[in-house]
Amino acid sequence: MSRTPNIGFVSLGCPKALVDSERILTQLRAEGYGIVPDYAGADLVVVNTCGFIDAAEAESLEAIGEAVADNGRVIVTGCLGGKAGKIRELHPAVLAVTGPHAYEEVMARVHEHLPPPAEPYTQLLPPGGLKLTPRHYAYLKISEGCNHHCSFCIIPSLRGDLDSRPAGEVLTEAENLVSAGVRELLVVSQDTSAYGVDKRYPMSFWGGRPVKTRLTELARELGRLDAWVRLHYIYPYPHVDELIPLMAEGLILPYLDIPLQHASLPVLKAMKRPAATDNTLKRIEAWRRDCPDITLRSTFIVGFPGETGAQFEELLDFLRAAQLDRVGAFAYSPVEGAAANALPDPVPEAVKQERLARFMEVQGEISAARLQAKIGRELRVLVDEVDQEGAIARSAADAPEIDGLVFVDTTDARPGEFLDVRITDASEHDLWAELLG
């Protein structure tokens, strides 16, 4: 009997890239290839890269170099694949380079350089396919690409224009994941709220009934499954308001991840982002009125080219008014190929870092106060892991990897289990709780 060929795999970048990796790994395993955790035991290595910012590009190039040095037979895919010339210049030994979400091409290159196994995998794969996340949560990618051309971003050049998956296909995948034990579905794409607009919201079929390929309708159907549904990367279109009643009803988690980026009108225009800050504050007020438990997360860029001291102060004023629950912030850094590189009046690096520190100080106080207000409340949490000190869990307000944690005083729990708890203490980022009942 011939030996099963083995493949090593490196997955870098955002959750969207992680979903691509899971799909490639599922296909490799279905065809009978072995998946190994090290270079030494691999007949070939696939590196799924990120190229969104310069630091991510450097990390990807380093990972490619390490795989080439330790194994020698490497196929590169992912966002950095759009810069094949740079990859081959630095690492001429790579066997092949493909772009992002090029599943069939990756498989073709694997077949070209590594004979297919004599027999396919004989055991049943999980209904949702192979996963790189813990068993109890999974990323559900509903579209590829983006139709926006923000001046600081190169995603459209890396991943192309918006291409939405049919609602029926997404819902079938979600149902399979839940059947395989997933308790939380994290809905992701480059622009989640634009879902279906590229196809003019066609009808699809799932469960014997028609479903429009549109975010509100998709979210409502996902909410019928036995799992938490969390929405990420929600561009603030007007129809986002339609999601709030679904959150208030408990169909989907009361959690909105909206990348606002800034609050000053001139800076937002330079970024080519929506620029109605006053309207945003009114909508936040309305969302909280209609769904008091809603958690609002956002990301911001400080030190964007041309940002003045007064415009930065305007951003801080917005933070104080909005009282967002979770916030990530970055000092602007140039990205090769981004239009923002040509903008005048770059902000000195020292000023960027000083502004970033001030921004995080203001938001830290806001986050701490909002978490302190939860002391005494009863919440449902989802356990991620259990160690000798207790259970490490997350509430509806906490997405994995990017938000806070809830530490529960029990070791009698399992990952993927829901617990009802009472909050007893809080820090700037995390909560502590006791088990109810």
Contact by Cβ (8 Å): 51, 57? yes
Binding residues: 14, 50, 79, 146, 150, 153
Q: The tokens of 90 are what?
A: 């630095």
Q: Which residues pair with 379 in a beta bridge?
A: 421
- Helix H, strand E, coil C: the string for 127-146 is CCCCCCCCCCEEEEECEECC
Contact by Cβ (8 Å): 332, 306? no
CB neighbours of residue 90 within 10 Å: 13
Interstrand relation of 431-435 and 406-408 (parallel, antiparallel or unpaired): parallel
CB neighbours of residue 79 within 10 Å: 28
- Cα–Cα distance measured from residue 317 to residue 329, given in angstroms and rounded to the nearest whole number: 15
Binding residues for [4Fe-4S] cluster: 14, 50, 79, 146, 150, 153
User: Which of 229, 184, 187 lies closest to 415, judged by CA?
Assistant: 184
Contact by Cβ (8 Å): 277, 261? no
Contact by Cβ (8 Å): 68, 91? yes
Q: The tokens of 205 are what?
A: 């079929």
